[in-house]
A and B are shown apart, each in its own frame.
Chain A
């Protein structure tokens, strides 16, 4: 049986090496970098590298741009995630309630944006939202509703980005909710009907509570996805106007690869990761409550 043991280790070895080199060492690396003043000069000559402790983090706390990026990212999360969950839930329940033979068609139609390149999507939406010839404003004009400058005004730009993110993302959750809905036994609905529960009561007292754990997990997936917002603002607005759509990752990217301020950029990366772990921890905690564990 000793042989068996070593075989098992051999099977995981490639994965372990890849994870160590490309995930765990970089994780330690980014932590380390965040404690230094690594920048343009140290890239040229490592003699210019100094350990400066938590200074990057203190700067971050007093950094208006960082706070604005946090706010921007949080707005997308706080507005986008509930909207996505709602659309995922509603579309999944609608799909599960129609005749079998139409389901595949609608499922495919609603899921297609998920597999499309974010860059290409962002380019497409920029034309849709264009003030001069964009179809969105054309449609609004037909309804007699003004012609907002979607990507030109700070408040609307972040809203526009949230709309694009939700539009691209909700199909993913729909598939997951749809699978979870299938797992609810029909007997439960039959029993509820016999006891006199109507459509709404069945929805609120059976479907939604039974789906709660799935929705909780989905919330975490959506939060961690939106928390890493990058390509949409990069293409749609380049972070503007007035930095109103600069997400945390976009800020990290600009500090790191435009200004080569790696220490500062790493501090943002670490903070971003830490907050994501906090989200995961909170989700795990609330879910345990739901299941009564």
Chain B
């Protein structure tokens, strides 16, 4: 190996380590502050590491700011959104890719159009709609709009196109009904992509901010990021408390991501190939 190649390789590892430091450090630092006692956290530049790790900030934000309640809301909303999205996107994506029916092209086109509509631009009429039917401050106000997820449909549709049509033909000749084909053949075959869409939707729903802030104004109904932003406006001086809140908002998604990395990254990559 030439000196040049060796330098290049060493430089690559060095560069990557540096970048990883830049991405990870802020997250680790905030976690570390969350574990510090108030005087330590507030004294000039806080030390990198808590000398006397404590859970007092975590306990404070849970007991005084009711973070547990918001945590629960986020879990309910993200789980319901995930389940509904997967159900809806699964069947629609399959039908658009592999079942012939009148109007399929129009529906496909509408879905593609849906991908191009920034949903944050729709919050005004959405709010008016939910206000009219008295569903503001209900979980449904967050779950239903998020389940109208054209990206999920496109992902499933593209994945389904990669599965040989002969497998479905074989099942048809085997005498299976359309519903049986969907249940016994299609769903197991789509499972990896359904998992990918599910994880993606879960994380996006958990982190969503603008619409949940608008739709959940009643005390106690907010999701974690919305509540966090509200607490922040009042308590931003309490760095330990806010660090604990931020950590508790981020950490679950980091764990979800680490546990389902394979599926999560699949949805990211597939999203770039379907266009």
Chain A residues within CB distance 8 Å of chain B: 3-9, 11-12, 14-16, 18-19, 21-27, 29-30, 32-33, 87, 90-91, 94-95, 97-98, 102, 106-113, 115-121, 123-128, 132-135, 138, 167, 171-172, 175-176, 179-180, 199, 214, 217-218, 221, 224, 227-228, 230-231, 234-235, 249, 252-253, 256-257, 262, 265-266, 269-270, 272-273, 276-277, 280
Contacts and interface: CB of A to CB of B under 8 A. Distances in A.
B95 interface: yes
Contacts of B243: 123-124, 127
B92 interface: yes
Contact of B102 (A5, A32, A118): A5
A120 B228 contact: yes
A14 B87 contact: yes
B29 A175 contact: no
Interface in B32-52: 33, 42, 44-46
B92 A124 contact: no
Contacts of A14: 87-88, 91-92
Contacts of B12: 94, 97-98
Interface in B1-16: 8-9, 12-13, 15-16
Contacts of A18: 88, 144, 147-148
Nearest to A123: B246
Contacts of A228: 118, 120
Contacts of A180: 272
A276 B118 contact: yes
B173 interface: no
B80 interface: no
B163 to A, nearest CB: 16
| Size class of the B contact interface (CB-based, 8 Å) | 35 or more
A217 B272 CA distance: 7
- CB-based closest 9 A-B pairs: A8-B101, A29-B125, A11-B95, A15-B92, A8-B99, A109-B20, A18-B148, A120-B246, A26-B122
A91 to B, nearest CB: 6
Q: Is the interface of B mostly helix, strand, loop or mixed?
A: helix
B169 interface: no
B92 A116 contact: no
Contact of A23 (B23, B27, B122, B245): B122
A234 to B, nearest CB: 7
Given A9-B101, A111-B265, A115-B257, 4 more contacts: A115-B264, A123-B228, A125-B26, A133-B45
Contact of A273 (B95, B104, B117, B245): B117
Contacts of B210: 230-231, 249, 253
8 contacts: A12-B95, A26-B122, A32-B125, A116-B254, A119-B209, A123-B232, A176-B268, A179-B272
Given A29-B128, A30-B125, A95 B16 contact: yes
A5 B176 CA distance: 16
Contacts of A29: 122, 124-125, 128-129
A106 B210 CA distance: 31
B203 to A, nearest CB: 5
Most buried by A among B144, B209, B246, B273: B246
Contacts of B99: 4, 7-8, 11
A26 B269 contact: no
A22 B126 contact: yes
Contacts of B147: 18
A26 B272 contact: no
Contacts of B29: 124, 128, 135
